[in-house]
Structure 1
Amino acid sequence: MSRILVVEDEREIADLLVAYIERAGLQVLRATTVSDAIMMHGQAAPDLVLLDIGLPGGDGLDVLAAIRRRGDTPVIMLTANDDDVSKLSSFRIGADDYVVKPFNPSEVIERIRAVLRRAMGTSKPKRLSIGILEIDLEARLVNCHDAKGQAKRLNLTPTEFEILAHMARYPRRAFSRSELLEAALPGSEAYDRVVDSHLSKLRQKLVGAGCADVIEPVRGVGYRLWVEG
C-alpha cells in the first residue's frame, strides 16, 4: 500500500484529501507545518507528498527543496498560488506536478496514481549493499555483517541513519560536515561540528556490531565511508 504524506494546514481541505485518498486504497500521513513535513518525510519515507506552498513556519518550497536534497520522492504541489513564478519555481526545484485550488478531489487522486506509476517505472533501488553493510532505505534498517558473515542490526537514530544512507549512496567520497548536516537535518541551524557528535556515536555502533570502523575522517574535509569488497 503506497503511503501519501499530505502537507496541508487548512483542516477542511486536509480532511477532504484524506477521505478521498483512503477511499482509493492508499495510506495517509498528515503534516501541517514546514518542520513537521520535513521530519515526517525523513522518518516515514512516504511514496508521494501532496504539498501546499503557504504553510505555518515557512514556505512549502522549502519542504520541496529539503525533499529533493534527500532523494526523489514524488511531490505534487497543491496550492492556491496560480502565478507563473510559483509554478516555475516549483518545477525548477523538482515538483512532479502542480494542482491549483480549488480542485476536483477525484482529479487529484488520478494525478497521484499517474505520478506513482511514473515513479515506479523509474524508481531507484530501495536497498544499498556496500561490502559488509546492507541498508534498507524504505524500512530504514541497517544490517552489518561481521567477519563470520553474521548480520547484526544497528539501532540508529533518524539522524544517524540519514548520515549513513547519504554516505552509502556515494561510497569513498569525502563529505564536508556541512554537506552531511544538510543531508541529515535540512534547514537546521545547528553548527557543523554537531556532525562530529553524530558520527562518533555512529562509528561506535558500527564497531560494536562487529564491523570494522568503515567511516573514517578526512583531514581538512570531513568524513568518508570506505568499505572494502
Structure 2
Amino acid sequence: MGTGPKEVTMKSIKRETMSKQVVDQIIELLTSGQLHPGDKLPTEAELTDKLFVSRPVLREALSSLETMGMIQRKTREGTFFSNKIGSKPFSIMLALSAGDIPAVMEARMSLELGLVTMAAEKITASQLEQLAEILRATALSKQGYVGLDKEFHRTIAYSANNPILEGSIDPLLNMFDEIEKQIPTVDRDHRATMQEHQAIFEALQQHNPLAAHSAMYHHLNHVRSKVLKSLG
C-alpha cells in the first residue's frame, strides 16, 4: 500500500529578497558593460517586463539604489546611473550587500572607528563648534533626531579630512538611515544617544584619538545591538 506524498518544508520568498535580486540585476548592467555611469536606465515598464517583478518591488529596489547614490531620478527625463559611480566602487559593493545588515553595521563601525581617530588629530575649532551646535539641537529635539544623528557622524567623518574615505561615508550613512527607519520609535534611546555623543565630542575636544576610538566603539556597538535586536 503506497503512502501519500511526504510533507516538505520550504522557505517563502520574502519581498526584500526579490528587491535585492532586482538591485543585483540592475548593477549587473554596469558591471557587464552594457551600460555605463551617466547612462539612462530602461523605463520602469521595460524593467518590470524584463525582470518579471511587480512595480512595487522594482520601485523598492530603485529607492535603495537612489539612497546609495547609484542612480538619479530626473523628472520627465527618466532614471540615470550616477556619473561618479566609476570612481566609487564602494557604492557598488554596498549595493550588492544591501540585505546583509550585520555586514553593513560592521562596515560602518570599521570606517567610523578609523575616521574618528584621524578626526581627533585634525579637527578644527570651527568643526568642534559645529558638533556642539548639533548636540544642542539634539538636546532640544523631542523626536525626529535621526537626521541630527547622521549630521553628527558626517561632521566627524569630514573633519578627518581624507578625500579617499569621504566618498564612502555618505552612502553608508544613507543606507543606515533606511535601516534605522525600520526600528520602532519606542526602541530608540534618545538619552543614551545624547550621552554617547557627548563622550565622543569631549574626546575630540581633547584631541585624544584613543578616547575618541573607545567612545565611538561604545556608541556604535550599542547601535548595532539595538538594530539587530529590533530587526531580528
Confirm or deny a common fold (TM above 0.5). Answer: no
Structure number with the bigger relative contact order (C-alpha 8 A, sep ≥ 6) is: 2
Higher helix share: 2
Structure index of larger Rg:
2
TM-score by length of 1: 0.28
Higher strand share: 1
TM-score by length of 2: 0.28
